[in-house]
Amino acid sequence: MKTNLIKLLTKDKGIRLFMVDVANILEHSNLKNMKTDFAMQLYTNIFIDCCLLRGFLTEVDQRISVSVRFKPAEHTAHCDVDGSGNVNCTFSPQLTAFNGDFTDLVGDGASLSISRASWMGGIFTGMVELKSASIDSCFSYFYAKSEQTKTIFRTWIENGIARGCLIQPLPYYNSDHLQFVVDSIDSAEKYIVTEQWVELPIRVFPYATVIDEYSVQNECNCSKEMFFGILMSVETDELKNSIEVGRNEELECGICGKKYIFSTNDLEAIVKMKESEQGG
């Protein structure tokens, strides 16, 4: 499968970067359901930012879920990304028809939450208020506030091109070098929206080395086994309560919408696993 996400590291090893090209996979996304030019632009921006997050997933069973709640009631966006590079983004009907300014969507009551889940690690969720002037800035603010990690998002949408870049300094980075990297990327916009994908690393990042390549796609390879990890993070008492009342648990894949039913026998097996790990 063709790679469309690259991970780079600056030669001084102080800054990591992700660069993604999503034009082809957008054709198979929910972009076609957007009813206004504004919604199409916002959808593309969010989709690009979420595709960049795939670079943070180092194991197949890891998943990232992004939920955006804008200020007007029922104007929401949701995106799921898994460790295989599958990405799915949906807007509520109200947001698909929105035709205003981004500033009308943010402010009191608006929020961005990002959850990261894995089989062994459970679920970790952070949330911030949305007050920034662009969705890219909102993602940057989330990582600065919730993760205490400076992270810069950039997206470019022009003439059929839909690309994005994530810039994240590592511990002990040089602040002057970070500014140099950001400025050089911003000044390279004309190349980013015109150069062939394979030429971008040399043209835009001569100060960095490609250390990994990934594929992102609007597909899903989910399985029931993948969702055991989510139930493993549920409190044992809650699982036992479901078993006692004979209630099955249903989990829905955020990528493709497929639903998985966990019977009481499944829940009993999960409880045994949890208690075994806890030493009884």
Q: What does the pLDDT look like over 8-41, one tens digit per residue?
A: 999 999 999 999 999 999 988 889 999 999 999 9
Q: What is the mean pLDDT of the chain?
A: 90
> In the predicted model, what is the mean pLDDT of residues 126-152?
93
Task: Report the pLDDT value the prediction gives residue 162, as an integer from 0 to 100.
Answer: 96
Residue 99 lies in a domain: yes
Q: Is residue 111 part of a domain?
A: yes
User: Cα(45)–Cα(132) distance, rounded to whole angstroms?
Assistant: 14
What's the half-sphere exposure (Cβ side, CA atoms, 13 Å) at 104?
A: 11
- State yes or no: pLDDT of 255 exceeds 80: no
How many Å apart are CA 64 and CA 124, to the nearest integer? Answer: 10
In a domain, 219, yes or no: no
Assign residue 121 a region (left: φ > 0; alpha: ψ between -120 and 50; beta: otherwise): alpha
Task: Please say which residue of 172, 193, 214 terminates a domain.
Answer: 214
Mean pLDDT along residues 38-55: 97
Same domain, 45 and 147: yes
Among residues of the chain, what percentage have pLDDT more than 70?
94
Tell me: do 169 and 145 sit in the same domain. Answer: yes
**How many Å apart are CA 255 and CA 208, to the nearest integer?**
32
Query: What DSSP element (H or E) covers 139?
Result: helix 135-145
Q: How far is the C-alpha of 180 from the C-alpha of 21, rounded, in Å?
A: 23
Tokens of 123: 């679920």
Q: Is the pLDDT of residue 122 over 80?
A: no
This prediction's pTM: 0.80
- What are the backbone angles phi and psi of residue 27, rounded to the nearest 5°? -65, -20
CATH code of residue 207: 3.55.30.10
Work out the average pLDDT over 80-84.
90
* Number of structural domains in the chain: 2
φ, ψ of residue 190 to 5 degrees: the values are -65, -30
Distance between CA atoms of 142 and 53, rounded to whole angstroms?
Answer: 12
What lies within 8 Å, CB to CB, of 62 at 6+ separation is 82, 83, 116, 117, 118, 121
Q: What is the CATH number of the domain that holds 254?
A: 3.90.1280.10
* pLDDT tens per residue, range 159-217: 889 999 999 999 989 999 999 999 999 999 999 999 999 999 999 999 999 999 999 98
User: Containing domain of residue 257, as a range?
Assistant: 224-277
pLDDT, average across residues 249-268: 82
pLDDT at residue 121, rounded to an integer:
67
pLDDT-derived band at 280 (thresholds 50, 70, 90) equals very low
Question: Residue 147: pLDDT band by 50, 70, 90 thresholds?
Answer: confident
Predicted confidence at residue 256, as pLDDT, reads 65
Could you give the percent of the chain with pLDDT greater than 90?
69
Instruction: Show the CA angle centred on residue 174, arms to residues 170 and 177, nearest 5°.
Output: 105
Segments of 52-207 assigned E as strands = 63-69, 76-82, 87-91, 111-118, 122-129, 152-158, 161-169
CB half-sphere exposure, 211, CA atoms < 13 A:
14
The DSSP output letter for 1 is: -
Mean pLDDT of 83-90: 90
